């Protein structure tokens, strides 16, 4: 895996694939079929991504994965389709909405354990604006991308909301809690017709 950021041309290619996958979904109810061999080597690397759709600054769909299962280009095609049509929090995107949406892609770097014996110790290690955080407690699991710091800039609030997302109380702490942090390369643009 290459740790340097993607050049602008490859970012543009991924954005194009994401939009084409959503458009493909309107007529075929499936993600755009992608043959990774048709794309540059950097887009064929196995990487995990999240694709986020926003409308007027409000979340409209967000789907992704924490584990790399497919090539970067395939992952983006699958998650763009899923963000538009399969996010259970929202009705599927309508074709008439497409030009009103902003699409963002977050490419995840591998997560690393973030051991902490207390909430205070965990918070002291967090890098607001930089860290994505994965919380695991038994079968419960949740994550916030680094972009969530824009809405929750306070580390205590960030952690409390992450716990609630996992179905836990905001002040919950247990020796069974495990945390991992990751960073992302993120980019986006308004969707154009």
The DSSP annotation for 43-58 comes to HHSB-EEEEEEEETTE
- The string of pLDDT tens digits covering residues 150-159 is 999 999 999 9
Place of tokens 């599927």: 92
Query: What's the pLDDT score for residue 1?
Result: 45
Which of 153, 97, 156, 108 has the alpha carbon at shortest distance from 134? 108
SS3 of residue 168 by DSSP: coil
- CATH of 8-108 among 3.30.2010.30, 3.30.700.20, 3.40.50.300, 3.60.15.10: 3.30.700.20
> Within the chain, which residue ranges are assigned CATH 3.30.1490.150?
112-182
What is the tens place of the pLDDT at every residue in 65-97?
999 999 999 999 999 999 999 999 999 999 999
174 and 96 Cβ atoms separated by less than 8 Å: no
Q: Is residue 47 a contact partner of residue 2, using CB atoms and an 8 Å limit?
A: no
Fold classified for 112-182? Dna Ligase; domain 1 (3.30.1490)
Computed over every residue of the chain, the mean pLDDT equals: 95
């Amino acid at each position: 895996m290459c740790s340097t950021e993607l050049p602008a041309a490859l970012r543009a290619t991924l954005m194009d694939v994401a939009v084409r996958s959503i458009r493909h979904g309107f007529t075929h109810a499936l993600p755009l079929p992608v043959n990774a061999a048709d794309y540059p080597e950097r887009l064929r690397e196995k990487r995990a991504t999240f694709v986020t759709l926003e409308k007027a600054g409000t979340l409209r769909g967000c789907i992704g994965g924490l584990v790399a299962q497919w090539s970067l280009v395939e992952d983006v095609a699958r998650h763009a389709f899923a963000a538009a049509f399969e996010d259970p929090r929202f009705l599927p995107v309508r074709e008439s909405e497409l030009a009103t949406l902003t699409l963002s892609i977050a490419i995840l770097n591998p997560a690393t354990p973030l051991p902490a014996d207390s909430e205070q110790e965990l918070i002291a290690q967090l890098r607001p604006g930089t860290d994505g955080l994965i919380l695991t407690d038994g079968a419960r699991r949740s994550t916030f991308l680094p972009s969530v710091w824009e809405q929750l800039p306070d580390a205590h609030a960030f952690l409390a909301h992450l716990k609630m997302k996992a179905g836990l109380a905001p002040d919950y702490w247990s020796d069974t809690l495990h945390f991992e942090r990751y960073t992302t390369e993120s980019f986006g643009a308004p969707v154009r017709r």
